Amino acid sequence: MSHTDPSFPGLHGRPDQGWVNDPNGLAVIDGRYHVFFQYNPNAPVHAGICWGHVSSTDLVRWHQEPIALVPRAGGPDERGCFSGCLVDENGTPTAVYTAITHTDYTGVALATSDRAAVSWVQEDAVLADSDQPRGIGIRDPYLFTFGGHRYAVQGGGLAGEKPRVYLYGCDDLREWSFLGELLTGDDPIAAAYGDSNVWECPNLFELDGSWLLLVSPLSIEPDGHGHGEVFALIGELEPDGDGLRFRPSSAGPVDIGPSFYAPQVLKDGERRLLWGWTKDLGRPVEAITAAGWTGALTFPRELRLVDGVLLSEPAAELVALRQERLAPVDGVVTARAFEVEGSTAAVRLALEHDTITETVLDHQREQSSDIRILVDGSIVEVFVDGEPPQTLRAYPGSRSQWRIEGGAELRIWLLGLPGPANRIHD
């Protein structure tokens, strides 16, 4: 592990320094995975947001690429290049992203690149604030196709009213047309997932014969804002006049942990992969400043729909991170990255510091089920068969140790990059 902070997630592919939040622009180009993300390289604070970029051929070894998109003085993205997606436009990788102007208004801008997705040319806005419907927080374009046409969704809301997902036609990427509301928080199935003002980062895609709409609920209050539990609406997408209508029939959480928000989904052949933002929780600002970094993306997850419930598991490629089996004495693990897997009804994961013990996970069920726990620095990702995953955070220091309590059927693996050098980046 190259970073001196024991809490740093060295296998998750993030840069050593700076602020990281939402995954953006997930793509596979000529057999290489590209993951972009909200990034401030200069400090662990949310300011001057760029698009950071890593790439990989195997979802295990991540190569740090040059920063892709940057705020431009006097440009449509002067205050930041916020979330968006990436499409292959007739062979040209094209980023479609939220552009924050000097007045904090939002629009949609484009940027094009070579096939390596390394050299980017940022263009003018294709959708200015004056082109947007009345609302607050309208942002995070996500593109999809239906019935031979291309559409985009953006999240947003209305002050004092319910959140909304807005629909646009964009067969021509440089000529957008507003088609109305795809779904609002007045829908009874959506309303069951709490009271928020804005839906952020909508993802609309097909999986196992159904259409899914993922939204990240944001509550904007006079004294600040809060992130709610990301949920998936499952239903049917239908033509509706010049636009479309999404009709949900069920809903459920995408992740039940407190440190998960703003995911994005990638179509990778027949499977759907998901990355989310795992935000820091409970770490003092002074510790974040001293460490020089905050935020990360989750490991990639494969989505599946089982009896109308959205589930996920670690991408199959991640088994390549397993090194040797560990045989902890009294359940103590001192490694910075490890995996626990097996079938059990009960397992407890604790982080022991000099004078206190922190219970990170206390899994208790009436019957045994398959479980996988991936720990990388301060990130803990838990996958239980038949249940939504949960993303947790706990911060080991230089003298901390992990303790695992569970049945003898649990197997524990040291995690690291394949190859003799065991490097973090390729």
Least reliable range by pLDDT among 40-44, 172-176, 220-224, 279-283:
220-224
pLDDT for the residue numbered 102:
72
pLDDT for the residue numbered 220:
76
Least reliable range by pLDDT among 108-117, 138-147, 186-195, 394-403:
186-195
Mean pLDDT of 153-160: 86
Percent of the chain having pLDDT more than 90?
86
Quote the CA–CA distance of 304 and 273 in Å, as a whole number. Answer: 10
More confident of the two residues 209 and 194: 209
pLDDT tens readout for residues 291-350:
999 999 999 999 999 999 999 999 999 999 999 999 999 999 999 999 999 999 999 999
Which one, of 94, 175, 179, 104, lies nearest residue 138 by Cα?
104
How many CA atoms does the CB half-sphere of 117 hold within 13 Å?
29
3-state secondary structure the chain: CCCCCCCCCCCCCCCCCEEEEEEEEEEEECCEEEEEEEEECCCCCCCCCEEEEEEECCCCCEEECCCCECCCCCCCCCCEEEEEEEEEECCEEEEEEEEECCCCCEEEEEEEECCCCCCEEEEEEEECHHHCCCCEEEEEEEEEEECCEEEEEEEEECCCCCEEEEEEEEEECCEEEEEEEEEECCCHHHHCCCCCCEEEEEEEEEECCEEEEEEEEEEEECCEEEECCCEEEEEEEEEECCEEEEEEEEEEECCCCCCCEEEEEEEECCEEEEEEEECCCCCCHHHHHHHCEECEECCCEEEEEECCEEEEEECHHHHHHEEEEECCHHHEECCCEEEEEEEEEEEEEEEECCCCEEEEEEEEEEEEEEEEEEEECCEEEEEECCCCCEEEECCCCCCCEEEEEECCCCEEEEECCCCCCCCCEC
Dihedral sign, Cα of residue 382, residue 387, residue 388, residue 392: negative
pLDDT tens readout for residues 214-232:
999 998 776 767 888 999 9
Q: What is the maximal distance between C-alpha atoms in the chain? A: 66
pLDDT for the residue numbered 103:
67
Residue 383 has pLDDT above 70, yes or no: yes
Do β-strands 163-172 and 261-268 pair in parallel, antiparallel, or remain unpaired?
unpaired
Quote the CA–CA distance of 67 and 35 in Å, as a whole number. Answer: 12
pLDDT for the residue numbered 130:
66
pLDDT for the residue numbered 425:
36
Task: Confirm if 86 and 26 have CB atoms less than 8 A apart.
Answer: yes
Quote the CA–CA distance of 54 and 315 in Å, as a whole number. Answer: 17
Location of structure tokens 């509706």: 240
pLDDT for the residue numbered 426:
32
Give residue 420's pLDDT band: very low, low, confident or very high (50, 70, 90): low
Which one, of 300, 307, 358, lies nearest residue 12 by Cα?
300
Q: Which amino acid is at 168?
A: Y
Mean pLDDT of 257-281: 97
Residue 357, token pair as written in the block: 């013990």
Q: Which amino acid is at 329?
A: V
Quote the CA–CA distance of 26 and 87 in Å, as a whole number. Answer: 9
pLDDT tens readout for residues 35-63:
999 999 999 999 999 999 999 999 999 99
Domains of the chain: 18-314 (2.115.10.20), 319-415 (2.60.120.560)
Question: What's the angle, vertex CA 183, arms to CA 178 and CA 189, rounded to 5?
Answer: 175
Residue 175 has pLDDT above 80, yes or no: yes
First to last CA, the chain: 13
Quote the CA–CA distance of 261 and 390 in Å, as a whole number. Answer: 11
pLDDT for the residue numbered 129:
67
**Phi, then psi, of 319 in degrees rounded to 5:** -65, -20
Residue 161, token pair as written in the block: 């009213």
Can you give the pTM of this predicted structure? 0.95
Which one, of 351, 354, 353, lies nearest residue 362 by Cα?
351
pLDDT for the residue numbered 424:
37
pLDDT for the residue numbered 421:
47
Task: Confirm if 83 and 201 have CB atoms less than 8 A apart.
Answer: yes
